[in-house]
Structures are given as C-alpha cells and as structure tokens.
Structure 1
Amino acid sequence: MNWDVFITCAVTGAGDTTGKSDKVPVTPEQIATSAIDAAKAGAAVVHIHVRDPATGRGSRDPKLYAEVVDRIRSSGTDVVINLTAGMGGDLVLGGAETPLPLDPTWTDVVGATERLVHVEQLLPEICTLDCGSMNFAAGGDYVMTNTPDTLRAMAKRIQALGVKPELEVFDTGHLVMVKDLVKEGLLDDPLMIQLCMGIPYGAPDDPLTLMAMALQVPPGAVFSAFSIGRMQLPYVAMAALAGGNVRVGLEDNIYLSRGKLASNADLVERAATILTAMNARVLGPEDVRAKLNLKKRG
C-alpha cells in the first residue's frame, strides 16, 4: 500500500471523445481551464494533449501547446505540467489485404526530434515517453509505433533538456525497454513509470496482471497505474494498494457514474475521496517535485 499518493489528471487526450461528452475540453483555453480546475480539486500533475480547435482531433501544433502552458503558468495555480510526446507515432495500414499505401487520413509518423519540438520550446517538468509499439484498441489497422531507436533518440534528447520522462508502459515488454534504457544511461533516477492497463491489445487490467507489472518495476522507481472506462475509478484504489500513484481524467473515461458525464475536476475529487477514505495522504505539487527531483518551470 502506498500511503502518500499523488493524482495525475489526463485532461483531454486525442481520442474520439468530443462527440460523446461536451465536458471534454478542445480549445487551448478550455484545456487550460480544465487543467486548472483539476489542480484545484487535488491533482498534483496535469497531463496535457492538445486538439485542433476546428476539428477536435488530436494535434501536435506547438503553438497550441504554448497557449495551454502559458495560460496554466500565468494563472498562479501551482501544478506540475506533463506534456505528451506520444503524438507522431500513429501508423494506420490501408487494410488487411492492402496494407500499403498507408491510410493518409490517420497516419501521422514523424521523427524523434519533431515529436519533441514542443517539449524543447516549453520545457515542462515532465513529458511522456511511450516505451514500445502495440496494436492499439479493438479493431482497425492502427499501430502505436515507437521503435527502439526512436525511443533511444527521444530519451537522450529529453535527458539533455532536463525534463523528467514519464515512461508509458502498456505491456510487460515495455518494461524490458525501460530496463535497457536504464542500462544505457538514458534515464535518470528516480524513474517515473506509468502502468497503462486495460487498453486493447495491451496488458489487461485484472489484479494479477497489475501486480505482475508492479513487481517488475525497477527498484526505487516511482510508478502510477490507471485503467480506462468504468475501471478508471476502481483503479484509484487498486493502484494505491499495489504501491503506486493514480491517474484519472477525461482522456481515459468520461463518466463519473453510469450515465453521468464527468468533468476532470469531478474525477479528481472522486479520486481524492477514495484515497482519503483509505487513509492515504494526497500529495501536492511540491511533494511531487521533491519525490521525483523535478526542475520547477515557469
């Protein structure tokens, strides 16, 4: 059991959720406001994607990231900013019989340097590093693509920038990649690992698989765990019981209860209630900076 737990709020993601809930933030102003509300509700860390304001689709535009980060930093709200670097690894094949050419509408694959442009410009305290490739979500021809050489190049650049990588682990093999990066000197202690559970076709979110993953986390690492959909809130308790920290937010789940749409602040408040009822202490951003040896920005 982890008795001192921090909450990360994954504010918007890049998935097709905007048509399912009007509470999913889309514009930079909406994303920043939702992040600030989540911080006031108890989130020590906000994990940020941006979306094209015109279409609602996920975007890599550094100007959108810059506006979100500036709005959060200038608000006076203390929260650790965690920017995604996962965009730019989306490979969508043309079909089972005709994999090539790739689907031009949804494929977005760029090099390691381009995936980190916004991180280099804005220097958040944390950015994500997806630690492997996988067939992502049920159906279709989408592959989340993160090759070993790409990960090594990204890890090296993130390390040079003095940003803490949150190592996104979707299956057991991704932990092997984490350990290789450690051996190669591309990751600094303490490691920050996010166990991403319940996403087809990655690690399932049953308790035995969670514990198998948690027990493979390198000694001394700080880890969080989450699941998606209806399992997001139960995973608040499961993650803490497994010795980890927690993540909630509209990137992974849009409901507070059956049929009741949630805001990010709603989900963070519920997570804080669950943890407090377990007699765990909910950590603030300064506690997280000390735990992870972060460089405060802004």
Structure 2
Amino acid sequence: MNFEVVLTCAVTGAGDTTGRSKHVPVTPEEIARDAVEAARAGASVVHLHVRDPQTGKGSRDPALFRETVDRVRQSGVDVVINLTAGMGGDWTPAKDDWAMPGPGTDMIGPDERLAHVRDCLPEICSLDCGTLNFGNDDTIYISTPPILRRMAALVREWGVKPELEVFDLGHIRFAKAMLAEGLLADPPMFQLCLGIPWGADQTVETMAAMKAQLPPGASWAGFGISRMQMPMAAAAVALGGNVRVGLEDNLFLGRGVLATNAQLVEQAREIIERMGARVLSPQEARNRLHLRGADA
C-alpha cells in the first residue's frame, strides 16, 4: 500500500478523441488551462501532449510545446511538468508496397523526438521503452534499442527525469538493461501502461506481475484506460504505486457522462483518500521522485 501518492493527470494525448468529447483540449491555451485546473484539483504532475490547433491531431511542433509550457509556468500554479517524447515513431506500411511508408507514418530519429524537451527542459519526459503493435490496423510504434539509448543519454545530460513507459514485460527488461549500462539515474521511474492494444492487459494480476519485475528501489505508477481507469488507479495504490488519470486515457466520469480533466483528478483523489492515503503536493512529488528542483 502506498500512503503518499503522486497523482499525474495526462491532459490530452495524441489519439483521435477530439470528436468524441468537447472537453478534450486542443490549443496551447486550452491544454495549459486544463493542466492548471488539474493542478488546482490536486494533481501533483501534468503529462502534456500538444495538438495541431487547426486539425486537432497530435503534434510534435516544438513551438506548440513551448507555448503550452510557458502558459503553465506563468500561471502561478505549481505543478510538475512531464512532457511526452513519444511522438515520431509511427510506421504504417503502404498498401501497394509494404516495404515503404504509407499514410500516417511519422518516423524520425531520437534527437528530433526530443527537440521540444531540449527546448522546454521539463522536470520529466516520457520514454516509451519498446516497439508495439498499436491497435488493430497496420500501425506500429517503433522505438528501437539504439533510439532509446540515445534518448536516455540525452535526457540524463539535460537533467530531465525519464518516465519509463512500459507496455509489456519485455519493455521492463530493456529498461533494466539501460539502468545497468548507466544510462538512467538511480532510482528509475516507471509507468505501467495497461490496456493499450496490444500491450499488457489491464488487470490487477498483470499490474502485480509487472511490478514484480521492476528493479529494487524504483518508483512506479500505473494506469488503465477507459472504464478501467479508476479500478487500476485503486489497484496501483494498493500495490504500492502512484496513479495516472486524465483525458488521454479515458473520456468518461461515469457511464455516459463526459469528464473534464479536473473532474477525473478529483475522482481519483477521492479514491486515494478513501483508501487512507493522501496525494503529494508538487514539491513533495519532486522530492519523492528525485527530480530537478527537489529540496536538498
């Protein structure tokens, strides 16, 4: 059981959700507003993607990240900023030539994947620790060992803590290899990502099995998607971990009731407190996770 919980809000993601809920923020102003509202509702950390303001689709434009981060930092509300570094690994083969990239492919190298992180220098950025069949179409998310080693080395040089997003047991195995190679500062920080097709399933048993493979002393959080967001939040606390909720992973507060990010944070915070635990403040989270800006 974890009695002092770091609560993350994943504010918008990059998925095709804007047409399914009016509450999914799109512009830098909207994303920053939701991040601040989530912090006011009790989030310790905000995990941020950005979207193209014209199309609503996920973007990796450093200018959009810079505007969003600046707005959050200038709000006067303290919150730990965690930027995605997962964009730029999508590969969809062309139907007329499977050896060539088709529509939807967005494949770049490690340095370019981190351009916005270098520019904004958040406390945390995500690091997706492996390749994955992503959904039921031909899309593959590609994150190879050389790409990951280069990204890990860069963020360590910049003083940014990598959140090691793991979607299966093999991803944990590779993250442990990077730790042994000295590419990750000790203690490492993991995010157990459950329910994404076709990664690990979102069950208590799966979460416990993945937790059992983490290196000693690692901090970790777990999340589920859609209707399993809150059950997996409770499971993570019970198993000794931290929690992530937010519109990136789930659009609903209850059956048929669309949620806002702040409402999801409030619901998760209530669950955590009813379990006898408490949510850490942003500064307490920095100290617990050994982030830049932690108290000496």
Q: What CA deviation, in whole Å up to 9, does each residue of 1:16-42 have, x standing for no partner?
A: 000000100000000000000000001
Instruction: Show structure 1 runs of 5+ residues with no match.
Output: none
Q: How does 1:105-144 map to 2 (within 5 A)?
A: 105-137=103-135, 139-144=136-141
Q: Give the one of 266, 270, 274 matched to 2:267.
A: 270
1:37-82 Cα distance to aligned partner (Å, 9 max, x none): 0000010000000000000000010000000000000000000000
Task: Find the aligned partners of 2:99 and 2:55 in 1 and give their Cα distance.
Answer: 27
Matched, 1:50 2:47: no
SS at match of 2:94: coil
Question: TM-score, normalised on structure 2?
Answer: 0.98
Structure 2 unpaired stretches of 5+: none
Tell me if structure 1 keeps the 8 A contact 2:60–2:88: yes
CA distance in 2, matches of 1:142, 1:288: 35
User: Which residue type is aligned with residue 82 of structure 2?
Assistant: N
Distance 1:92 1:249 in 2: 27
Quote how far apart the aligned CAs of 1:296 are.
3.0
The corresponding residue for 1:101 is: 100
SS in structure 2 at match of 1:276: helix
Once residues 285 and 264 of structure 1 are traced to their aligned partners in structure 2, the CA distance between those partners, rounded to angstroms, is 17
1:234 to 231, 234, 242: 231
How many Å apart are 1:234 and its aligned residue?
Answer: 1.0
Identity %: 57
How far did 1:209 drift? 1.2
| Corresponding position of 2:215 | 218
Distance 1:89 1:73 in 2: 28
* Contact 2:204–2:232 (8 Å) recurs in 1: no
SS in 2 for 1:154: helix
Where does residue 22 of structure 1 map in the other structure?
22
TM-superposed deviation, 1:98: 4.1
Calculate the aligned-residue CA RMSD, in Å.
1.1
Q: Please say if residues 4 and 280 of structure 2, whose CA atoms lie closer than 8 Å, have aligned partners that are also in contact.
A: yes
3-state secondary structure, aligned to 1:127: strand
Q: Deviations over 1:232-278 (max 9, x none)?
A: 01111111011100000000000000100000000000000000000
Instruction: Assess if the C-alpha contact under 8 Å between 1:94 and 1:141 holds in 2.
Output: no
Name which of structure 1's ranges 86-95 and 243-252 shifts more when overlaid on structure 2: 86-95
2:162 is matched with which residue? 165
Equivalent pairs counted in the alignment come to 294
**Structure 2 letter corresponding to 1:85:** A
Determine if contact 2:203/2:232 at 8 Å carries over to the other structure: no
2:221 corresponds to which letter in structure 1?
S
- The offset of 1:94, in angstroms, is 2.2
Q: How does 1:239-254 map to 2 (within 5 A)?
A: 239-254=236-251
CA distance in 2 between counterparts of 1:99 and 1:20 reads 32
Distance in 2, Cα, partners of 1:264 & 1:32: 12
Runs of 4+ in structure 1 over 4 Å off? none
Task: Find the counterpart in structure 1 of residue 258 from structure 2.
Answer: 261
Query: Contact 2:166/2:190 (CA < 8 Å) preserved in 1?
Result: yes
Instruction: Please state if 1:288 is matched with 2:282.
Output: no
Q: Secondary structure at the match of 2:263?
A: helix
What is the one-letter code of the residue matched to 1:38? Answer: A
Q: Tell me which amino acid in the other structure corresponds to 1:82.
A: N
2:220–2:242 Cα contact (<8 Å) kept = yes
What CA distance in whole angstroms lies between the structure 2 residues aligned with 1:73 and 1:12?
18
**TM-score (norm: length of structure 1):** 0.97
- In 1, distance between residues paired with 2:237 and 2:184? 25
Q: Whole-Å Cα distance in 2 between the matches of residues 164 and 120 of structure 1?
A: 12
3-state SS of 1:232 partner: helix
Tell me which residue corresponds to 1:78: 78
Distance of 2:173 and 2:164 partners within structure 1: 12
Residue identity opposite 1:291 in structure 2 = R
Is 1:62 paired with 2:62? yes
CA distance in 1: counterparts of 2:60 and 2:278, whole angstroms: 35
Does the Cα contact within 8 Å between 2:82 and 2:124 map onto a contact in 1? yes
CA contact (8 A) 1:170 1:202 kept: yes
The structure 2 residue matched to 1:199, chosen from 171, 196, 199, is 196
How far, CA to CA, are the matches of 1:160 and 1:6 in structure 2?
25
